[in-house]
Amino acid sequence: MSADAPYPLAQDLRPVALVIVAGSIAAVKAPSALRRLREAGFQTRVIATAAALNFTTPLSLSTAADAPLHTDQTWFGPQPGAEHLLLAHADMVVCVGAGADLLSRAALGRASDLASATLLSVRCPVLWVPAMNERMWLHPAVQTNVALLRSWKHHFLGPEYGPFGSHGEGEGLGRMAEPETIAALAWGLLTPAPQDSHDLQGRRVVVSAGPTREYLDPVRFISNPSSGKMGFAVAEAARDRGARVTLISGPVNLPDPPGMEVRHIESALELRDAVMEAAGRAHLVVMTAAVADYRAAERAGEKQPKVAEEATLRLVPNPDILAELGGQKGERVLVGFAMETHAGVERAAAKARRKNADFILLNYPTQENTAFGGDDNQVTLVRPGGASEAWPRMSKLEVAHRLLTEAAKLLPPE
């Protein structure tokens, strides 16, 4: 909490949650949210917009909070001052029952009332808990404002699917999240997000990414559709968490990320040389590369002419780079990826054991916009012993951070 907080409760070291109650029917749940936030460990302040007071009363809000209620009347009241600036010294802002209007005032940077002026002044995390009619929530105007606020790293909880509060419109997307959920999430957001932490400061991380190309002759090769996005996300996330990163990439259509060493390879043999060299000094190696299992037994020096109808290609297996690293593991943390179409968890666990990897992230080639080429991924973490944990679908960058959080737990202390 900031030293010049508005209520200098010398003994009270609890973080401050500033609750902004907006004008929707869900405002009736605001006193309960305030109580839950206090139970979670916050001291609470509360602002009610003019519209909120149509749905809940000043007394029910101020008795549930740790301080008197703030409204537009107190802002312009007998001692007009910088109430919005004082209230902004919070550790968390929670906008309860937020409707389209408060969202738009915040997205526009208005300062036309105490709530919006305070939202302009805060520098702490902001959690929006919207509640409105489904048609309003889904309107592009509202969704554009939400996207803008998200781009400023504001957090959103809900709205949830359920019965609407009014006008017999039945069920829909628009219900406010429950007070217990609000309090739990707000408390969770107090701990820095992984992307803001520097838990990999000074660690050396090697990441392989993309496909390999196994040339048959100068113009033909065996490859796969790996886009490299997952490996690039891991490399960028590790860089942002303070690591010194070497990214070793097969041919992909992605620009070299800044702030790291990037090496380009084509074949599995080149990848193996580059990984083995870089891994010597690495604390963590993440193999996201989709390594071709085989290469041509002979690579022709010249383009091969078309022959008769049938042709036979003799293939030899490529070295298993992850298994080779696993053979000389030491304290190095090793993470692999595996794509399976069936019996995924058992196969991935067996793979982790065989390759001596600390864990493997299993994904499936079949899901839409995931794995190969997509921006999202839905993976299951599988440990060598067979324990597994399915993660929800999320962006590849979020998968990367979660992977690094798990890997960081296994790193020996420096």
**In the complex, minimum distance from the CB of residue 249 to ligand C5P, in angstroms, rounded to a whole number:** 12
- Location of structure tokens 């999320």: 394
Give the residue with the Cβ less far from ligand C5P, 193 or 297. 297
Range 262-321, binding ligand C5P (CB under 6 A): 268, 287, 289, 291, 318, 320-321
* 351 lies in the binding site for ligand C5P (CB under 6 A): yes
Give the residue with the Cβ less far from ligand C5P, 42 or 337. 337
Question: What does the DSSP 8-state code read for residue 70?
Answer: B
What per-residue string of b and e applies to 239-256 under the rule 16 or more CB within 10 Å gives b?
A: bbbebbbbbbbbebeeee
How many residues bind ligand C5P, per CB under 6 A? 12
Contact 88, 121 (CB under 8 A): yes
Q: Which residues are catalytic?
A: 224
**In the complex, minimum distance from the CB of residue 399 to ligand C5P, in angstroms, rounded to a whole number:** 14
Give the residue with the Cβ less far from ligand C5P, 186 or 338. 338
With the C-alpha atoms ordered 105, 107, 108, 111, is the resulting torsion angle positive or negative? positive
How is 248-316 classified by DSSP, letter by letter?
A: EE-S-SSPPPSSSEEEE--SHHHHHHHHHHHHTT-SEEEE--B--SEEESS--SSPPPP-SS-----EE
Binding mask 219-258 for ligand C5P (x = CB under 6 A): ----------------------------------------
Give the residue with the Cβ less far from ligand C5P, 242 or 319. 319
**Token code pair at residue 259:** 């702030």
Contact 90, 17 (CB under 8 A): yes
Contact 45, 68 (CB under 8 A): no
Give the residue with the Cβ less far from ligand C5P, 101 or 273. 273
Binding mask 102-121 for ligand C5P (x = CB under 6 A): --------------------
Contact 351, 359 (CB under 8 A): no
* 95 lies in the binding site for ligand C5P (CB under 6 A): no
**In the complex, minimum distance from the CB of residue 250 to ligand C5P, in angstroms, rounded to a whole number:** 10
Residue nearest to ligand C5P (CB): 336
Range 313-342, binding ligand C5P (CB under 6 A): 318, 320-322, 336-338
**In the complex, minimum distance from the CB of residue 51 to ligand C5P, in angstroms, rounded to a whole number:** 54
How is 79-100 classified by DSSP, letter by letter?
A: S-S-HHHHHT--SEEEEEEE-H
Residues engaged in binding ligand C5P (CB under 6 A): 268, 287, 289, 291, 318, 320-322, 336-338, 351
